Amino acid sequence: MSRSALLIGCFSFLLTSAAPPPFAAQHGSRVALQDRSPVRCHDGDDRRSPSYAPAYAPPPPTPPAQPGDQEMVVTGVRASLPNSQSVKRNSSVVVDAISAEDVGALPDRSVTESLQRIPGVSVNRNVPSAPMTQGYVAPQPEPYGAPGNTERYDGAPVSSILAVSAQPISTFSVDVDTGAYSNVRRMLTQRQAVPPEAVRTEEMINYFRYDYPRPTARDVPFSVTTNVSKTPWNPNTRLLRIGLRGYDVSAKGRPAANLVFLVDVSGSMGEPDKLPLVKQALSLLADRLTPKDKVSIVVYAGAAGIVLDPTSNPAYIKQALACLDAGGSTAGGEGIQLAYQVARKNFIQGGINRIMLATDGDFNVGISDNKTLEEMVKRQRDSGITLTTLGFGEGNYNEAMMERIADVGNGNYCYIDSPQEARKVLDDELSATLFTIAKDVKVQVEFNPAQVKEYRLIGYENRALANEDFNNDAVDAGDIGAGHQVTALYEIVPTENTGWLPERRYDASMPVGPSGAPEAAYVKLRYKLPGERDSRLITQPVFARQIRMAEMPVGDMAFITAVAAFGQRLRGDKYLNGFDFLQIGQLAGTSGDYWRSEFGRLVRLADAQYPRRPRGD
């Protein structure tokens, strides 16, 4: 027998004997061979079916070695494993290493930070033109607004001051998104300037958890907390907090889920912080599913296709994710259409039916207009299929589209910038991400002009509703998931204090509230329970004595106020009176909580990057 024939035989034996059950894969093509497997990765297979073929271009295969007089030795994997372990046990060399699993478990923001835990290793991004033999230095991304950066944001200007005598009522939809905070974190960590339009202060505040009481019954799915404190940056104003907390539910307690992972595998997703992080994030979610849940995977690049039929087996889900590669243009609209078809085919009556879109949002083929996408998502929302968006990457990130279609799709928007954030969103907070406990949640606050003369709502600019929409159950609003928390902060001016607006010459006398103890404001909330058409109402007064007895914020209220000031500072809020990042950090204080302590780090980064401004800015 010739040497080449012997080597081919050994190589074939290796592939068949080392393949882990329950899957067998043909080397170099990643084709699911067993008939019962729902995995449909037909990359390089002549039996490709147009409706299931992933429409992306995988990287070209490695060129074959040139023939020569070289000798190749093939060793079986199973035989090599014990030998490798023996070599490690008997080695006199100690090697410090960090694995991919370690990076996911450590509280570091990136692989770079994790590597610096190894003794003798330091990473410097500012090494001037070091040769590749000394290590690779990742290039800095182009800043926002530069020709090479096409990121898109749709931020609204900071809310203006309103006079209670002219506009006593404020109405808005709740917002449980958190994507703005993690995206801002990414920019500050990279020492980039944060564009004001990328900051939504309500998402900064709602990123964190607070000590709100648990709801007492599921027919009232969330508790309502109100309190008043003095304002650290303005002695003439007070801060009114409205806090909601939804009831919690375990994986066993929630309904069955029909999930469609819609994954962008276009060429723009080839960066390490895009498709590789998508696969890691969705693998985390797969491990949290129950046998009653089922997952399908749809991908899109130049066209769209299905790579996984519905399954509850995490191993199949991970196998399908592992076969994804990036390449081609971005037909995101076609991908969304196919994902809705798959979700409709596997619809669970009374269950969770949701699409999880993972992308950088850079649609450039087919349906790419935001308005057209919104209309499509809105139609499907009304039929019971919701949409959550998971944003990834930088440089071409279309956050404007991601945030908007999640809002229209009755889902939520998150930005995944690290393995830790993926674990937070898709593991720790999975029930909130998936299971809706209250729909179309609206908040309306009426201020008593006898007690409050001016106010402004901090954040929620793109969630404002017309006052008449509060009682109109046909008007869509934000949903709250299990365990979700929502916080809104008003800055108000008591009638006896100096406000922002000039005094009026002709100011009519105002009546006192209807209660025996004068009310400063009246808070109303409307919501629908899942499956119901008619809304329910919760009301709660805010008494004038709460304004008179207000103290400087402490505890949770101090941290919420610090986060609000941080967001407003990044947005260029002119009403902060020079309250700077150093003061924000002092107000936030120190905490043993990882996420809160990380906030302190971001404040310090912002303080080092942004110039100090004089008071009265």
Give the residue, 578 or 372, on which the prediction is more confident. 578
Mean pLDDT to the nearest integer, 33-47: 58
Other C-beta atoms lying within 10 Å of the C-beta of residue 572: 13
Give the residue, 285 or 121, on which the prediction is more confident. 285
For residue 82, pLDDT over 70 is answered with no
- pLDDT, one tens digit per residue, over 92-101 is 444 445 555 5
pLDDT value, residue 328: 79
pLDDT value, residue 512: 53
* Residue 32 banded pLDDT, cuts 50, 70, 90: very low
* Residue 369 banded pLDDT, cuts 50, 70, 90: low
pLDDT value, residue 137: 43
Give the residue, 487 or 36, on which the prediction is more confident. 487
- pLDDT, one tens digit per residue, over 502-536 is 987 776 555 555 545 699 999 999 999 998 999 99
User: Could you give the CA distance from residue 152 to residue 400 in angstroms, rounded to a whole number?
Assistant: 6
Other C-beta atoms lying within 10 Å of the C-beta of residue 74: 13
For residue 143, pLDDT over 70 is answered with yes
Mean pLDDT to the nearest integer, 66-75: 44
What phi, psi does 572 have (nearest 5°)? 80, 30
For residue 11, pLDDT over 60 is answered with no
* Residue 364 banded pLDDT, cuts 50, 70, 90: low
Q: Which of 493, 462, 459 minimizes the C-alpha distance to 569?
A: 459
pLDDT value, residue 504: 76
Give the residue, 140 or 459, on which the prediction is more confident. 459
Mean pLDDT to the nearest integer, 613-617: 54
User: Could you give the CA distance from residue 326 to residue 393 in angstroms, rounded to a whole number?
Assistant: 13
* Residue 289 banded pLDDT, cuts 50, 70, 90: very high
DSSP 542: E
pLDDT value, residue 101: 52
Token output for 510: 């105002």
User: Could you give the CA distance from residue 410 to residue 401 in angstroms, rounded to a whole number?
Assistant: 14
Mean residue pLDDT of the chain comes to 81
User: Could you give the CA distance from residue 253 to residue 187 in angstroms, rounded to a whole number?
Assistant: 38
Other C-beta atoms lying within 10 Å of the C-beta of residue 66: 6
pLDDT value, residue 503: 82
Q: Which residues does 156 contact at the CB level (< 8 Å), separation at least 6? A: 461, 462
Query: What would you report as the CA-atom Rg of the chain, rounded to the nearest whole angstrom?
Result: 28
- pLDDT, one tens digit per residue, over 179-197 is 999 999 999 999 999 999 9
**Range list for CATH 3.40.50.410 in the chain:** 257-434
**Range list for CATH 2.60.40.1230 in the chain:** 167-249+437-498+518-609
Level-2 CATH architecture, domain 167-249+437-498+518-609: Sandwich (2.60)
The pTM (predicted TM-score) of the whole model is: 0.79
Give the residue, 22 or 291, on which the prediction is more confident. 291
- pLDDT, one tens digit per residue, over 231-271 is 999 999 999 999 999 999 887 889 999 999 999 999 989 99
pLDDT value, residue 345: 96
What phi, psi does 536 have (nearest 5°)? -115, 160
What phi, psi does 29 have (nearest 5°)? -130, -10
Give the residue, 615 or 229, on which the prediction is more confident. 229
For residue 434, pLDDT over 50 is answered with yes
- Residue % of the chain over a pLDDT of 90: 63
DSSP 228: E
- Return the CATH number of 257-434, one of 3.30.1340.10, 3.40.50.410, 3.40.50.300, 3.40.50.720: 3.40.50.410
Mean pLDDT to the nearest integer, 108-128: 45
Mean pLDDT to the nearest integer, 585-605: 96
